[in-house]
Structure 1
Amino acid sequence: PENHPDQAVILGNLGNRLSDRYHRTGNLQDLDSAIVRTEEALEATPEDYPDRATWLNNLGEHLNCRYRRTGILQGLEASLASHFASWEVLTAPMLIRLRAALRAAKMLVFYPSVKNLPRACFLLHNAMHLLPLVTVRSLGREDQQHILGQLTGLASLAASVSLEVGEPPLEALRLQELGRSVTNGQLLDYRSDISDLMGHHPKLAEEFGSLRQELDSPFAIPSEKSSDMSVKQHLEAQQSAIRRRKKVVKDLDDILLKIRQKPGFENFLRPASEAFFLSAAHEGPIVVLNVTELRSDAIIITRTEVKSIPLQNLSHDSLVKYCGTSTSDNKAMREVLEWLWKGAVQPVLLKLGFYPQEVNPLPRIWWIGVGLMVKAPIHAAAKFKKGRVHMTTHQYCVPSYTSTMRALQFSRSRKLHFQQNSSLLLVTMPTTPGASSLTGVTEEANGIKESLRHYSTVQILERPCAGRVLQVLPHCSIAHFACHGLSLMNPADSHLLLLKEPIPHDPHTEEVGKLRVKDIAALKLPQARLAYLSACSTAESTSSSLVDEVTHIVSSFHIAGFSHVIGTLWPSNDQACQKMAVDFYSMLSKTDDVALSYRTAIMGLMKEKPLQPLYWAPFIHFGA
């Protein structure tokens, strides 16, 4: 009935169900009814009520569907207006507003009838500056991923539009950095910015956290069915809640202003400065590869400048073709590596003035792949000729990866050099319930022990339970895992396969135990230096909707505190894993240089089987 407290919610939900039915049946009448019901939900929703943003967002999607079906321009214009109106509901949860901004921006960029790049750029700038205020830390890892999966592509589109309208590469870089790896970034915030604020100004930190949490929480008023309120009392409670929401918006702005007035906190949760980016490149250039349907670019950060070059031979369509699916064929992988060499890596190396050389030290380079580029084996890009590797990244430099420059600086802030009393943890799983045996694991472990025999502490855990490993990890400098790994569509559940705790009444029955991403990332590891994951697919980003989050087993070890992590992009050959590990540690014992040792071991594998990149190309170095 009219004026019923739940009227708008019921109408809005009905609109969604009608839209769902349209997508199943294609019946345009269902879509028209969905639009009418959603418009009625808006009419029943007071101004400034946070739910208006949701109904406007839904209405924009319904109208866009009808435009794509009918081609009537007025529907497209109305859809765009609805998304903008949703973005402008300041009392709404920030996720809803950001989702509306992304949808509106895509229309302004990709729909010729309403194309307006300057307007899209302005909108995306505002949206990206709001993103750091979205708090996901209090949520479970799966809930975090669900929320951020709805914003995939926001940062890369913002960077592309920024470059397209002629803004300096520094601006595009700032936008890109703001939107990358939000989940892990907020962990770093709480281990740096937020913890610093808590240490110096605890009251401000507590107030900021409380306000941010409240604004990000769903807006709820007790319904008539769930309370003893009269309609009048319900409306009064509704108005009171709206006033509170407006006050929270204002108070959050005020508290940010107060924080940024404190010495040392002038850039609190603001985009990084140019000086920060240049300092991050003091050990070697950092290259962000940003590919969207609008354009493809490499943003290059050196000690002295931030610049960009267009990548004319690297289209979004080709990226989907070569990296949208995995391959188990060496010929197909050679095509991928040659495409990467021509389209991305060679133009960057030429711009940097790098050339192939045999002498050490080779220059370092850090790659940041954006979107589907996180799936690309950039480090192994190569040109093949006459049965050999004619040119490859490893001949020009020592390639590494990082998720963000913030994460790179975090890893460098920790001690990088290994000492005589460093502790080594060796975790081996020669057999695993329900999985194939790893016949080379024992020999791999023996080779590592021999190479690092000068270390005072070597702890070997053969076929341990996951809980035992979590207990031991905080006490080691080097952790080496020789086991199976599994990369899942839900990245938080990707894991290394160990054993479960034995059942007391049945101690002889063994079950697989999971050392999961979310458990590893939650650790704080003060002594951590190097994690070597001699397992399959530990750096694989399986979920296309979460590529911006760079969440996989390797990144979880990195965020937990390991300055260096060695991992794999796809299932690796057991023989290659064994040789790679032994050669790596042999070199490490002589040089104390993780990246160089990694590169040396890779070159050894490449020399052995040059035309089989599936053998030598999966191994990556992540971190400092």
Structure 2
Amino acid sequence: MSQRNPIADTVFQGREMLKHCPGDHPERISHLHNLSIALKTRFEQDGRTEDLEEAVSLAEEAEGLAIAIDHPYLLWFHHCVTLSDPSVPIADKLSAYPNASAEERFEVALALANLARIHYSSLVLRAYRLAMMLVERVLNVRFTNESQHRFLSRPDVRQLPSHAASWAIQHGALDTAIEIPEQGRGQIWAKIRDYTYPLNELPAISEELTDVFREVCVQLMLLSISPSNLYDVVEETSRIEYRRLKWEQWADTLKKIRQLDGFQDFLRIKPFSTLQTAASGGPIIFINVDSHRSDAIILRSEGAPSLVPLSPHLPQTLSRIVETLEGVAEQSRIWWCPTGGLLSLPIHSAGPYNEGERNLIDIFVSSYTPTLSALINARARSHDLSPKGVELLAFGQSNTLPQVKLEFEQLRNMFADAATLLDGHESNADVLLAGASTTPWLHFACHGFLNVENPLQSYFTLHSGSLSVEKILAGATASHGELAFLAACHSGTGESELAPDEMISLAAVM
């Protein structure tokens, strides 16, 4: 007895389903799509050109029906992945559906990426990049940081960068595996960084563009923190339209800035060649944890990145990482760039902890960075030191934390007149915000409170009132801050379970 062919059965069943779905049947698009996939799969196995021709015809019929009923899904992704000319840019396919929202386009792009991965299509990375670009579009039309955080907490959204990186790693494209997560991680903070980016050189070229850009950035920042900031500006019914217009003004001004000499790459996603410069201060270990595979990529300032596949046994993995770092002097600084759930783990303290064996902390000095771009930007700011040297603003609460008096005495001995020390009643939120915008170094020794339900309302306790994440963001300016030392409970924690790469905390906002 001959064995049954599952593909042939699928094709047969697909034809039967279509017989019972006339042209106006709501399920016809789905059945056309499924039969097209089955025929394409059989073509790949048997090479029968008539199967490919029928698959193309069915896909085109499905697309035509989808356009006719303004269906946002299954519009084009099967045609893109398995049938169409790969020379046609994926984004151009989307332009045929102007009525689809940014979120609907994202859903389609994500479906395209998932299907392309199943079929091992050459379109996988392009689809992932498109999906992450559309994540940014979705964030731009969402009203507040809280709304954006909810979207980024969706499992399929938060896993998108790690999925893309794992595919790139699987195919040997380690530079791409470094680039892609930079586009898809820390998006809320990246947007805040864009709104407060220093414009040191722009005024000399175009003072008008500088003023317009600063103004619209302030307005978008206030609106993203809380819609109540604009209660007196526009009526409630028009706030969404107001934000859309402001974002379009921001995008249009950004386009004009990029047309100026020397500003072509202003606020653009950094390519690998730029990201690699982040390793100038020591090797960076980027860790990607994904359901498909998990790896560490070691990035040096020169040469190709090195790959260390992760194993379930941490000591073995760390041993391989240390071996790959051969040639780096002991007690040199190395940088960790973890992702996902690893963000909350003290990787630097890992080791066998057996007598006679060394732990990681005995070999290297570890530091952390949330993204490579964050490290590059921080170093760029450090080059613009105050000619007067380091200045320090310290705030403490010795009335409830007695050791603060000793701590402040030590700071006074170290910094002398360069330190401004505020204890308890001597400060309030306005004083601290004003000082934070002009002082490169901050030192907080006080109580902190974590609001799990709304991280924007986490706060430092002051003698009178509090200083919340929301207040800090509302008062944010393009400062030259370099160091924030936080001796405050809960300052480094946040609601990280749902979207660890987008964690909002007191430490992050500083």
Alignment of 1:116-265 (within 5 A): 116=120, 118-131=122-135, 136=140, 139-150=143-154, 151-164=157-170, 166-192=171-197, 263-265=261-263
Q: Which residue matches 2:447? A: 484
1:199-230 Cα shifts (integer Å, max 9, x gaps) = 857679979x99xx9xxxxxxxxxxxxxxxxx
1:98 offset after TM fit, Å?
A: 2.3
Q: Indicate the SS of the match to 2:280.
A: coil
8 Å Cα contact 2:336-2:366 kept in structure 1: yes
The answer as to whether partners of 1:48 and 1:91 remain within 8 angstroms in 2 is no
Q: Contact 2:335–2:369 (CA<8 Å) still a contact in 1?
A: yes
Confirm or deny that 1:348 pairs with 2:317: no
CA distance in structure 2 between the partners assigned to 1:88 and 1:196 by the alignment: 40
Secondary structure at the residue paired with 1:545? coil
CA distance in 1, matches of 2:386, 2:268: 35
User: How much does 1:270 deviate?
Assistant: 4.8
In the TM superposition, what is the alpha-carbon distance from 1:421 to its structure 2 partner?
A: 5.6
Residues 267-416 of structure 1 correspond to what in structure 2 (within 5 A)?
Answer: 267=265, 270-314=268-312, 340-343=314-317, 345-353=318-326, 357=330, 362-386=331-355, 390-415=357-382
Amino acid at match of 2:158: T
Contact 1:197 1:205 in 2 (8 A): no
Q: 1:413 offset after TM fit, Å?
A: 1.5
Q: Secondary structure at the match of 2:353?
A: strand
**Does the 8 Å CA contact 1:364/1:397 hold for their aligned counterparts?**
yes
1:423 is matched with: 391
For residue 101 of structure 2, what is the aligned residue in structure 1? 93
Residues 1:456 and 1:263: Cα distance change in structure 2 (over 3 Å): closer
Deviations 1:138-165 (A, max 9, x none): 943223323333421211111111222x
Q: Would you say the 8 A contact 1:131–1:178 is kept in 2? A: no
Give the Cα–Cα distance (whole angstroms) in 2 for the partners of residues 293 and 126 of structure 1: 21
| Corresponding position of 2:418 | 456
Q: What CA distance in whole angstroms lies between the structure 1 residues aligned with 2:253 and 2:430?
A: 41
Q: Which residue of the other structure, out of 483, 487, 494, is the alignment partner of 1:534?
A: 487
Structure 1 distance, partners of 2:198, 2:461, is 35
Cα separation, partners in 2 of 1:491 and 1:340, compared to 1, 3 Å: farther
- Residue 183 of structure 1 deviates from its aligned partner by 1.6
| Distance in structure 1 (CA, Å) of the matches to 2:101 and 2:365 | 44
What whole-Å deviation, never above 9, does each CA across 1:166-186 have from its counterpart, x for those lacking one? 142111111111112112212
Paired positions, count:
403
Identify unmatched segments of 5+ residues in structure 1.
Answer: 1-34, 40-44, 61-84, 214-244, 315-338, 432-436, 501-512, 558-624
- Secondary structure of 1:383's match? coil
1:425 aligned counterpart, secondary structure? strand
TM-score, structure 2 as length reference? 0.65
Contact 1:132 1:178 in 2 (8 A): no
Report the alpha carbon displacement of residue 556 of structure 1 after superposing the two structures with TM. 1.1
* CA distance 1:195–1:279, change in 2 (3 Å): same
Cα deviation per residue 1:510-569 (whole Å; 9 max; x = unaligned)? xxx332223324522635332100122322243322222243222211xxxxxxxxxxxx
Contact 2:197/2:478 (8 A) holds in 1: no
Give the CA deviation at 1:106. Answer: 4.5
1:124 aligns to what SS in structure 2? helix
Tell me, in whole angstroms, the C-alpha distance in 2 between the residues paired with 1:274 and 1:405. 10
| Aligned partners of 2:139 and 2:148 also within 8 Å | no
Distance (whole Å) between structure 2 residues aligned to residue 481 and residue 197 of structure 1: 33
Kindly state the Cα deviation for residue 258 of structure 1 after the two structures are TM-superposed: 8.1
> Compared with structure 1, are the counterparts of its residues 470 and 52 closer, same or farther at alpha carbon in structure 2 (3 Å cutoff)?
farther
| C-alpha distance in 2 between matches for 1:460 and 1:283 | 34
Say if 1:105 and 1:87 are closer, same or farther in 2 by CA, change over 3 A. Answer: farther
Q: Secondary structure at the match of 1:533?
A: strand
Letter in 1 for 2:339: V
Structure 2: runs of 5 or more not aligned: 1-25, 31-64, 78-92, 221-243
Q: Given the superposition, is the C-alpha separation of residues 391 and 425 from structure 1 closer, same or farther in structure 2, using an over 3 Å criterion?
A: same
Amino acid at match of 1:493: Q
Contact 1:194/1:205, CA 8 A, preserved across alignment: no
SS of corresponding position for 1:515: strand
Q: Provide the C-alpha distance between the structure 1 equivalents of 2:369 and 2:194, rounded to a whole number of angstroms.
A: 17
Structure 2 SS opposite 1:534:
strand
Note if contact 1:288-1:299 (Cα within 8 Å) is conserved in structure 2: yes
Matches within 5 A, 1:491-502: 491-500=455-464
| Residue 556 in structure 1 maps to residue 509 in structure 2 | yes
CA contact (8 A) 1:289 1:298 kept: yes
* Contact 2:460–2:466 under 8 Å retained in 1: yes
Distance 1:541 1:186, change over 3 A: same
Question: 1:524/1:191 Cα in 2 relative to 1: closer, same or farther (>3 Å)?
Answer: closer
2: distance between equivalents of 1:206 and 1:474?
A: 21
Using the alignment, how far apart are the partners of 1:137 and 1:530 within structure 2? 33
The DSSP-based 3-state class of the residue aligned with 2:281 is coil
Paired residues of 2:285 and 2:298 also in contact (CA < 8 A): yes
- The answer on whether the counterparts of 2:113 and 2:127 sit within 8 Å (CA) in structure 1 is yes
Q: Which residue of 1 aligns with 2:406?
A: 443
3-state SS of the aligned residue for 2:305? strand
For residues 477 and 287 of structure 1, what CA distance do their matches in structure 2 show? 28
Structure 1 position 119, deviation (Å): 4.6
> 1:198–1:206: 8 Å Cα contact kept in structure 2?
no
Contact 2:160/2:184 (8 A) holds in 1: yes
Q: Structure 1 residues 534 and 346 mapped into 2: Cα distance closer, same or farther (>3 Å)? A: farther
Helix, strand or coil at the partner of 1:313: coil
Paired amino acid for 2:106: L
Aligned to 1:599: none
Residue identity (%): 25
Tell me the CA shift for residue 87 of structure 1: 10
Deviation at 1:454, TM superposition (A): 3.4
Shift of 1:442: 2.9
Post-superposition offset of 1:366 = 1.7
CA RMSD of aligned residues (A): 4.6
Preserved CA contact (<8 Å) 1:299 1:306? no
Q: For the residues of structure 1 that align with 2:370 and 2:446, how far apart are their CA atoms?
A: 24
Aligned counterpart, 1:66: none
Q: 1:140 to 1:461 in 2, by over 3 A?
A: farther
Shift of 1:88: 7.6
Structure 1 residues 440 and 138: alpha-carbon distance in aligned structure 2, compared to 1, 3 A threshold = same
